[in-house]
Amino acid sequence: MARPARTGKPRKLEDNLERLRGRSRTGSRRRPPGWSHGISTDWEERGTMVTRMTGSLSKKALATISALAVTSAAFAAEIEVRSGATGPFEAWVLKELPSQLPADGLAFKNQPFKLTVPDGESGFLLVKDGRGNVAWSDISSVKTGIWTIQSNIWRIGEVRVNATQGSDPLDGGMAVLEAKGWSASALISGGEALFFGVPPGEVSVSVQYLEGKTKKATTPQKYTLALDRDEAAPVLAVAVPAGKAGEGKPEAKEGQAADKGGRTGRGQAEGADQGVRSPVANAIVWLLALGIGIGALYALFRWLKANESKVAEKLRSVGVSVPDGTQSDDDGADAPPGQAPPFDPRAQRPEPLPHEAFAPVGATGAAAPTPKPSAPRLLVQGATVEIPDGAVLLGREAGEGVILISDPTVSRKHAEVRREGDAVIIRDVGSSNGTYVNGSRIEGETTLQPGDRIHLGSAELRFEA
């Protein structure tokens, strides 16, 4: 069979040229001879695998970044605290709410301020202002990284209850503090119980104690606690009726209410002794007893006055000396044996001089006798008393060498008057109402001048010379 005639270049050469150019007959690019179909397919599969792995890693990275963003938003590294209260402030980051105010907090002069919170940890933020008030919040409730303390969540930081029994502090027992929707109890040690985080407003406090083996409780006393106050820790005083207090301490029973943060509280006081009177009731009882006693004494006095003669006869019959009311005050009959009668000013009145002492020169020319110089004297309650040489006491208590002054404002031994030659000196001897000369109170010795007015209490004397 005859072959078809070839035209132009040989076909083999043409095919070789086309291979070298990398093109097929149709003009499409062909792979070089070394790039077989198997090799091409392997690289394509590898490329697809790399693409799939890259896509998978991208999804995991996005999920991790999203989780970190959510965690950072829920537990911020720093929380800004804002408040309308006055500083300085003290703050704590705590794992649990305490039962009393902790020590060594972070100090801040003003607000707002920032607190650092560990990532992912739960707990509480506690803040104390300049007046001793506290506020707290669960860290998980702060979503935006800013805690704004509202005015209605502030509480009194510390409240102390002082319990006394008579003049001594009560050792043992339990103090109970109650407010609207809140109550707490604390053991008393050394006469004191401490409460933390007490709501402001009206509170009532009572004390449970043991008397012997009997459980008793004081009547609740009401107090008002304010956020704006002078003392940081208010003190509430409770007086326990005097008696034999037991050594046991009441314990909190199951079913008692618990304050927020785990502090033990209670409802109404159980077993309270309704017979324990309040201080006001005790005062009323004492006033009634005092009135009855005064009335009885007054009735006895009236009876003695009405039966004075009979009482005097009875006393004389048993050997008691009773003065006779008809006797003179200055007869000295009742003075004890061997003792001079009381110095009574009225008994010292000088006798008037005879007229002859002041007679003019007679017809015979004889001169009248020269008058004797008058001695210094005191005018006491209308009587003139000559001041002897030496010292004499002025007072309300009768005795030898005492000028007696009957006045309840005069002390028993009130003042001393001493005569030294022509000088008369007065001094106070520790009287209650003092000694005054011409209206001025004397502290030491004072020399009297004629006409000086002396006051011993409300009694008035005049010095003459």
Fold of 377-464: Tumour Suppressor Smad4 (2.60.200)
| 79 phi, psi to nearest 5 deg | -120, 125
Whole-angstrom Cα distance, residue 135 to residue 235? 20
Per the prediction, the chain carries an average pLDDT of 74
Give 440's strand partners: 437
Residue 406 has pLDDT above 70, yes or no: yes
- CATH for 155-240 is 2.60.40.10
Instruction: Give the angle 174-176-180 at the CA atoms, nearest 5°.
Output: 170
Domain ranges of the chain: 77-149, 155-240, 377-464
Render pLDDT for 78-137 as a digit per residue (tens, 0 to 9): 889 998 888 899 999 888 888 888 988 899 999 899 888 877 667 888 999 989 999 999
Residue 183 has pLDDT above 80, yes or no: yes
- Side-chain half-sphere exposure of 140, counting CA atoms within 13 A: 6
Could you tell me which of 404, 345, 351, 392 has the C-alpha nearest to residue 374? 351
Q: Using pLDDT thresholds of 50, 70 and 90, give the confidence band for residue 333.
A: very low
Region of poorest pLDDT, from 34-43, 325-334, 418-427? 325-334
Q: Using pLDDT thresholds of 50, 70 and 90, give the confidence band for residue 325.
A: very low
Instruction: Provide the H-helix boundaries in 103-212.
Output: none
CB crowding 442-461: b at 16 or more within 10 Å, else e: beeebebeeebebbbbebeb
Render pLDDT for 233-251 as a digit per residue (tens, 0 to 9): 999 999 888 765 444 444 4
pLDDT of residue 86: 86
Residue 77 has pLDDT above 80, yes or no: no
Whole-angstrom Cα distance, residue 367 to residue 197? 106
pLDDT of residue 90: 93
pLDDT of residue 140: 83
Q: What pTM was estimated for this model as a whole?
A: 0.40
Region of poorest pLDDT, from 118-122, 377-381, 401-405, 417-421? 118-122
Residue 200 has pLDDT above 50, yes or no: yes
Tokens of 102: 């902790």
pLDDT of residue 247: 44
CB crowding 239-266: b at 16 or more within 10 Å, else e: bbbeeebbeeebeeeeeeeebeeebbbb
Q: Using pLDDT thresholds of 50, 70 and 90, give the confidence band for residue 446.
A: very high
Nearby residues of 229 by Cβ (< 8 Å), 6 or more positions away: 131
pLDDT of residue 410: 92
**Are the CB atoms for 112 and 147 separated by under 8 Å?**
no
Q: Using pLDDT thresholds of 50, 70 and 90, give the confidence band for residue 53.
A: low
Region of poorest pLDDT, from 46-50, 180-184, 312-316, 346-350? 346-350
Q: Coil, helix or strand for 363? A: coil
